[in-house]
A = this chain, B = another copy of it.
Amino acid sequence: MKISKLVGERVKETPNGVSALSHGLLLRAGYIKQVSNGIYTLLPPAQRVTKKIENIIREEMDKIGGQEVLFPVVMPKEIWEKSGRYYSIGQEMVRFKDRNNHDMLLGMTHEEAAVHLCQNTVKSYDQLPFMIYQIQTKFRDEARPRAGLLRVKEFTMKDAYSFHTSQEDLENYYKQVYDAYNRIYTRIGMKNFISVGSDTGMMGGGRADEFQLLIDAGEDNIVICPKCGYKSNMEVADSVIEKCKFEDEKLTEIYTAEAKTIDEVCQYLNVSPKQTIKAVCYAVVGNDEQVVIAFVRGDREINEAKLKKVVGADVVVKDLQDTGLVKGNIGPVGLNGANLTIVFDTTLEGQCGMIAGANKDGYHLKGVNIERDVKNAKFFDIAKVIEGDKCKCCGDPLTIKKGIEVGNIFQLGTKYTKSMGMTIHMPDGSQINPIMGCYGIGIGRSLAAVVEESADEKGIVWPMSIAPWHIYLCPLKNDLPEIFEKAESLYQTLSKDFEVLYDDRKTSPGVKLTDSELMGIPVRVVISPRSLENNQAEVTIRKNGDKIMVNLDELNDWLKNYIRGEING
């Protein structure tokens, strides 16, 4: 490819409003262009990287017996009604009416389509297990698309679905997919990725694992025990939170004036946050009347993912106006109402001598003993893990790292096959709903994650396996006929064995070298009047800056050797 014809331009400055590293670099280096909020066009270099990632995924899916299919982007309401998700998924699913007034939707995942395909198509136990996958466009109407390709509305995803006759068979296959995922991320050049236990969210089902690239720019919080290896997404992370012991005393109302937040109350009363009870109020999505009040020890935060599971519905922090609740003075004693769901975190179980709101402006209660003062209190683990909490497995202190989720795998169970009525004949004549697993990888997010992890201050650094081109051929002073001719002939020769981006522009060396670094092509081959004097080219390795002078007669062999080695790891 001659760069003079390559669609896309390279720019020096990061555009305004761009914070994520990969977002800025992919824009600046001519890889992506925004069409709408969270919607991008991939320029030729990005599409080349995408195709390579897709092919690596395809190879690994095929290796574990995957069969590639293609489900539609647009689906009819009916199959999503059967699974119940037509109603349970919110605004992130696009719904529209077709010209015949038929309800349609844009697929954001394809469990329903997978069951629709296999239902009445696969009928007998001996056809299982099997796995089907697709690489296809998906659309999720994200509330807050951000960070370029890291969080978008439209994206290409590899999604796979396996079908099994027993949980044991699913677990065996799940392990195979798990291994394939590890191979995929390794092959596309990710280094610091891990798998962690995760929430099953809207997918339903039992066990789920996420693959996370650990990186400071990530937006997910990952809880890790450096000693025993416990790893979990914050959403489902557990820890041992040490109970406090305060003296049991009688319940007393105390004046706390304007003190409302935990900090203010603690300062006013000169107590530790651990001795207070924090209240957070939530509205239940889709049920405006219902209010959830979550109580947690004052030094802790609510883990909303856990709370949602307890409540069995989506919740959002509620504006207290018109609720009759006294902001900053809400407490569990005497609190009730038909529309109130009250949830206590396990940190409060058995606690006494606590300070809580008195449900009265300007007042708190001291000496709260939950067992004594609150009838039928129900305790659930709804607190967020914090750095230094003790590991539930080994008791050592936990650390928290940031991660980018680059893939996930789920044990779905029979949620979809049961609700949609897919059955399989078993050898004993009975019929069962097959047990499913599902397995996703976001292609664009993986691409951006690699950029986040590998980039340096000069720009992108592509791993060889997914680089848009292997070589950046960069003649300096190619307005000189001897340089021009040598460059043209090298371009012809090298293109036979490698993917070459040829900087044929008659522009300054500075522009060319800077562009080669910004674009992240793994190997740069420079020829100049000086190098040609010795019949040499200057080869620069992007990832470490190593410079090697290579004799032109040996260049092809040298490159073959190096590039092959890099691709094969």
Contacts and interface: CB of A to CB of B under 8 A. Distances in A.
Interface of A: 1, 4-9, 30, 33, 35-36, 39-44, 46-48, 50-51, 65, 67-76, 78-79, 91-92, 94-96, 98-99, 102, 104, 106, 113, 116-118, 121-123, 126-127, 130, 132, 134, 136-137, 139, 141, 143, 153-154, 156
A70 B47 contact: yes
Residue with the greatest number of chain B CB neighbours at <10 A, chosen from A47, A95, A116: A47
Closest 9 CB pairs of A and B: A96-B96, A44-B67, A36-B76, A42-B70, A91-B99, A39-B72, A47-B68, A99-B141, A41-B117
14 contacts: A5-B67, A7-B117, A7-B118, A9-B122, A35-B79, A36-B74, A39-B72, A41-B71, A43-B69, A47-B134, A74-B94, A74-B153, A91-B99, A96-B96
A75 B136 contact: no
A76 B39 contact: yes
B75 A51 contact: no
B7 A40 contact: no
Nearest to A51: B68
A528 to B, nearest CB: 23
Contacts of A154: 72-74
Contacts of A139: 73-74
Contacts of A95: 96
Contacts of A50: 70
A156 B135 CA distance: 13
Contact of A44 (B41, B69, B91): B69
Nearest to A58: B51
B7 A143 contact: no
B69 A7 contact: yes
A8 B121 contact: yes
A138 to B, nearest CB: 9
B68 A7 contact: no
Contacts of A4: 126-127
Contacts of A51: 68
Given A94-B98, A99-B92, A121-B7, A75 B44 contact: no
Contacts of A30: 121
Contacts of A91: 99
Contacts of A76: 35-36, 39
Given A7-B118, A7-B130, A33-B117, A106 B74 contact: yes
Given A98-B94, A99-B92, A113 B7 contact: no
Contacts of A78: 36
B121 A9 contact: yes
A69 B141 CA distance: 23
A78 B35 CA distance: 10
A47 B47 CA distance: 20
Contacts of A48: 68
Given A7-B69, A74-B139, 12 more contacts: A4-B127, A6-B67, A7-B67, A7-B132, A36-B76, A43-B69, A43-B121, A47-B69, A47-B134, A73-B139, A92-B99, A94-B98
Nearest to A126: B4
Contacts of A6: 67
Given A44-B68, A67-B44, A116 B35 contact: yes
A69 B41 contact: yes
Contacts of A73: 73, 137, 139, 154
A16 to B, nearest CB: 16
Contacts of A121: 7-9, 30, 33, 43
A105 to B, nearest CB: 10
Contacts of A79: 35
Contacts of A67: 1, 5-7, 44
Nearest to A128: B5
B130 A41 contact: no
Contact of A113 (B35, B44, B65, B130): B35
A161 to B, nearest CB: 10
Contact of A69 (B42, B94, B102): B42
Residue with the greatest number of chain B CB neighbours at <10 A, chosen from A71, A72, A136: A72
A539 B474 CA distance: 54
A116 B68 contact: no
B132 A72 contact: no
Contacts of A137: 73, 136-137
